[in-house]
Structure 1
Amino acid sequence: MLKSERKQVILSEISRHRVVSLEQLTQVLQTSESTVRRDLDELEGEGKLRRIHGGAESLHSLQEEESNQEKSIKNVHEKQKIAQKAASLIREQEVVFIDAGTTNELLIRELTAKQVTVVTNSIHHATQLVEQQISTVIIGGMVKRSTDASIGGMALNQIGQLNFDKAFLGMNGISEECYSTPDMEEGAIKRAILENAKKTYVLADSSKIGYSSFAKVAPIKRASLITTKNASPLLQLLKEKTEVIEV
């Protein structure tokens, strides 16, 4: 198959699935992984896709957001390591906030401290916490279907009345200057949580580094970042501005 034909097939697969792995593409194209990597690098250089660990994804607009189902299949190994580290930071008797999102779902599964109170804005997370017999407080409000997060005035009201020892937030974008998310209402929720927590950690796999979304949440220095080790020059810059925990 000619290079131009391979590239067209790759773009077609990404258009259909939004996220594709190297393994998927090598099977579809019947070629080597190194050849696929070169094609992906060239297509990224042409501005037609975005490379991620182990594959590629379609380009996003500032307001575009994947559903939890789509996020759950991306960078699972990285997210697992991040979740394990985050869980190790939670101590008995603490009150912690756990944000909606797929990495935070893994965090709940890794919890070893059981004498804690967990506040969450995710119905799905709350169910899992109750099943683990962990004291749980759920934030009400309008439920955003794609992320399973409670948003809106009711949610902001409730968060404003609470204090947290630690908060664990998900973010869609982490640039040199700030954390960001596609949705303004969800961004407001994350800011409120950050303002009411003694210590906040942002859980983000490497695909979020260098990416910006529509709604700015907070300056980088306002939260510690838990992410996976990588050689990104931006990660080195972030270390100069805030605590970065690499796993």
Structure 2
Amino acid sequence: MEILERDQTVRLETLMSLIETSESTIRRDLDELEAEGKLMRVHGGAELRQGLQDELTNQQKSVKNSHEKARIAEVACQMISKRDVVFIDAGTTTEFLIEKLHHLDVTVVTNSIHHAAALVDKGIKTIIIGGTVKLSTDASVGQMAVEQVNQLNLDKAFIGMNGIDNDFLTTPDLDEAAIKRAVIANSQQTFVLADASKLGQKAFVKVDTVDKVAIITEKCETAVLQELQKKTRVIEV
């Protein structure tokens, strides 16, 4: 719990090394702590349980599940065709997608100053959505941003999400939820990029129903993933 308070997340291998005990013992202890509501079990370890309105900063998110995010982004990149107009959401998983974009004749719309700068450096035609910048996630939000998104027609959109349960996509922030909702409504196809830690989670604000999007995530044996596969397209990496 001290490690989780400090780092927000911990892997099984780390605990096995620190505590010098078996994987089965660690798993059993983590299950007990989860039952007590002290943490949340995720693929390969555990993370600190967040409140419905809690949200990590981009800096904190960037160190979590980076290998899995990179694999998800690689598959997402394969969904993009030449001459597509795509939206790329602010966030750390979508940042990996920008790294994978090479020599594609595409136009990218983004609500992230950080993403826009990276895209321009790559020589990719970039349109940036304006509005109030949310400092913790580097996202342009607010009514101005929503109105700009509503003026666009997008071929594909790639967005992050804090929580995906059996029915809804959720995020902690009302303003970010409004942007994501507008993007889904104005895109022919929307892909949610989410590592396994987001599955089964529920945040404060409902963005949309899961059937409105395709979900690119890790292969994992969870009841939530099996339920999602009945309702929408799930691409496992």
Q: Tell whether the structures are fold-level matches, with TM greater than 0.5.
A: yes
Per the alignment, residue 190 of structure 2 pairs with 200
CA offsets per residue over residues 75-119 of structure 1, 9 Å max, x none?
222111110010001011110000011110001111135210000
How far apart are 1:29 and its partner, in Å?
2.6
Q: Deviations over 1:181-202 (max 9, x none)?
A: 0001100000011111011111
1:7 aligned residue: none
1:128 to 118, 126, 148: 118
| d(CA) in 1 for partners of 2:231, 2:101 | 29
2:189 is the counterpart of 1:219: no
Who is 1:13 aligned against?
3
Alpha-carbon distance between aligned partners in 2 of 1:122 and 1:110, rounded to the nearest angstrom = 17
Aligned partner of residue 57 in structure 1, secondary structure: strand
Give the number of the structure whose alpha-carbon radius of gyration is greater: 1
What is the CA–CA distance in structure 2 between the aligned matches of 1:126 and 1:244, rounded to whole Å?
28
2:233 match: 243
Where structure 2 has 5 or more consecutive residues not aligned to the other structure, the ranges are none
**2:152 aligned to 162, 168, 172, which one?**
162
Secondary structure of 2:184 counterpart: helix
The whole-number CA distance in structure 2 between the counterparts of 1:153 and 1:230 is 38
Residue among 206, 223, 227 paired with 1:233: 223
Segments ≥4 residues shifted beyond 6 Å: none
| Pairing of 1:13-52 with structure 2 (within 5 A) | 13-52=3-42
Please list the CA deviations of residues 25-58 of structure 1 after superposition, one character each: whole Å capped at 9, or x if unmatched: 3343344444323321221122211112222111
1:199 partner amino acid? Q
Report what 2:61 is aligned to. Answer: 71
TM-score (structure 2 length as normaliser)? 0.95
Deviation per CA, 1:158-189: give whole Å up to 9, x if none.
Answer: 11111100001100010111101000110000
CA distance in 1, matches of 2:220, 2:3: 27
Classify the secondary structure of the residue corresponding to 1:140: coil
What is the rounded CA distance, in whole Å, between the counterparts of 2:13 and 2:174 in structure 1? 36
8 Å CA contact retained: 1:87, 1:112: no
SS of match in other structure, 2:231: coil
Residue equivalent to 1:6: none
Name the SS for the 1:240 alignment partner.
Answer: helix
- CA-based RMSD of the aligned residues comes to 1.3
Shift of 1:239: 1.1
What SS does the corresponding residue of 1:235 show, helix, strand or coil?
A: helix
Where do 1:108-123 residues align within 5 Å?
108-123=98-113
Among 77, 84, 109, the residue aligned to 1:87: 77
**How many angstroms apart in 1 are the aligned matches of 2:152 and 2:173?**
23
Whole-angstrom CA distance in 2 between matches of 1:175 and 1:244: 13
Q: Deviations over 1:117-141 (max 9, x none)?
A: 0000011111110111000011111
Unaligned runs of 5+ in 1: 1-10
Aligned length, in residue pairs:
237
